[in-house]
Amino acid sequence: MAKVIARAPKSIRSKQQGVVLIVSLVFLISLTAVVAALMQNTTSDVKMSGASEEKMVATQAGVSAIDEVIYNQLLPGNTNVFARTIADNNFPNNNQGELLPNTKTAATASVDITNNEFKLEADCPHSRSASSVQVFTCNVLNVQVNRNYGRGNNSTVRVNSGVSQQLLR
């Protein structure tokens, strides 16, 4: 027995092929739009994560610069800027040669007195170790480091640290 396959007339087949072509083009355009939107979101995410990483790196460089300022004051043979008298207008100190000599952090530092409007020698803050009352006075200082980052160095990270330097009366 031979099977008989019914075929549609040629004019109907060509119309169906045209419809399939149009439907496939519509799907192609819609999928292209979806892919373009996803790629744009991915690009934005990459830019945001890059900016976040830059800020973290700048913050860590600022913290390292604070450590470097404190270390430079404690080096043997160096003059400790923290131990200077308040009365001689030694503060604020923005001298980068004293605070951050030969630094590679691209940061700027300053040292100023903390909450001492009248520039009086203050008693030292309480500590765990016992000492005679009012034998020592302290320079209570604020060390501030600014570090620029971002495209064109338009953004700034500011890191602050408190230092209490004992002074003999």
pTM of structure: 0.65
With respect to residue 11, please indicate whether it lies within any of the assigned structural domains: no
Q: Which residues have a Cβ under 8 Å from the Cβ of 116 and sit 6 or more positions away? A: 86, 122, 140
With respect to residue 55, please indicate whether it lies within any of the assigned structural domains: yes
Q: Which residues have a Cβ under 8 Å from the Cβ of 65 and sit 6 or more positions away? A: 100, 103, 105, 107, 109, 145, 147, 159
pLDDT digits (tens, 9 = 90+) for 129-162: 666 566 677 888 888 999 999 888 888 999 999 8
Cα–Cα dist 82/113, whole Å:
10
pLDDT digits (tens, 9 = 90+) for 6-16: 665 666 655 66
pLDDT averaged over every residue in the chain: 80
With respect to residue 80, please indicate whether it lies within any of the assigned structural domains: yes
pLDDT digits (tens, 9 = 90+) for 46-70: 888 888 889 999 999 889 888 888 8
Q: What total number of domains does the chain contain?
A: 1
With respect to residue 24, please indicate whether it lies within any of the assigned structural domains: no
Domain extent at residue 68: 34-168
With respect to residue 120, please indicate whether it lies within any of the assigned structural domains: yes
With respect to residue 29, please indicate whether it lies within any of the assigned structural domains: no
